[in-house]
Amino acid sequence: MLKASFEIITAAKRESFVIKKFDKKGFEAPFHFHPEIELTFITEGKGRRFVGNNMTGFEKSDLVLMGPNLPHCWKLSDSKKDKAGSIVIQFNYGFLGKDFFESAEMNSIRKLLQRSEAGIEFQGNINQLVKDQMESVLDEKNHFKKLMLMLDILNRLSVSKEYVLLNKKNSVLAQTDDNRVRINKVFAYIVENFHDEVFLNKAAAIIGMTPNAFCKFFKKMTRKTFMETVINYRINFATQQLTETDKSIADICFESGFRDISHFYKTFSSHMQISPLNYRKLFLQHTMIHE
């Protein structure tokens, strides 16, 4: 069943932004979105990170900045055994006044927040530095100092060159807010269900469309068909399982949402230009060479 995908965030009295520390329960959130900008640092845990239409493996020290209404969630590899934790900062673009980030002094931060609409993964030494600053924000009792620390984090991120955009050339980002909210509900359905059966009729019903109208809408929004998108999620998940686990090809096939091994081989080979087995062998050879 599709879980609610819109999240309402409220700040404490006298505070203009939200900062929270989460344990393993924080990773149980479904694929969701909200109008606030969010900075998330993973203090512990590993698994798969979903940001927009990007699915990537994550581990401790993962640091991501996400713009408004960009759907996201972190899923643990083993939610029963793995320890997990995160620190999250959330704020509205205009939390210091609608023109604050338009000033010349805020130019680099303004550009950072504009880039965050695609989702930004930071890499390198900056991750640990930002984690230390986020912990300082958590501990600080003085509201003014708390705000200055938060702005310093944004400034530090704005000058970093070690980052990756997670949703390059994403046509969804260019759509109206209403259409983005609608398509985000469909992506929430895919993310929560691609391991199992996914039904076009159910996806269409989620946003109140007939299957025919939905297919046209989805293709216009994403430049891919609904099933192409589902298959991309399944193939992406399978590649991670092939490289990060020693599970059998058959187990990976079924856990990725495929119902037939021969179909899995054919689809995987068509997308990756290599069979699942040879993909794993090539990865292992590459890993041994670089050890």
In a domain, 170, yes or no: no
Place of tokens 């109208």: 213
The CATH number of residue 281's host domain is 1.10.10.60
In a domain, 7, yes or no: no
* pLDDT the model gives residue 191: 92
The conformation of residue 11, written as its DSSP 8-state character, comes to P
Tokens for 183, please give them: 């398509």
Q: What is the pTM of this model?
A: 0.81
Question: What range defines the domain where residue 107 resides?
Answer: 18-165
Question: Same domain for 124 and 24?
Answer: yes
The conformation of residue 167, written as its DSSP 8-state character, comes to S
The mean pLDDT values, 10 residues at a time, for the chain of 291 residues are 45 74 88 92 94 91 94 84 90 91 94 95 96 96 95 97 87 68 90 94 96 95 93 94 93 96 96 95 74 51
Place of tokens 């469309």: 209
When divided into structural domains, the chain yields a total of: 2
* pLDDT the model gives residue 267: 97
Alpha-helical regions (H) of the chain: 107-115, 126-139, 143-158, 177-193, 200-206, 211-222, 226-244, 249-255, 261-272, 276-289
Question: Same domain for 40 and 157?
Answer: yes
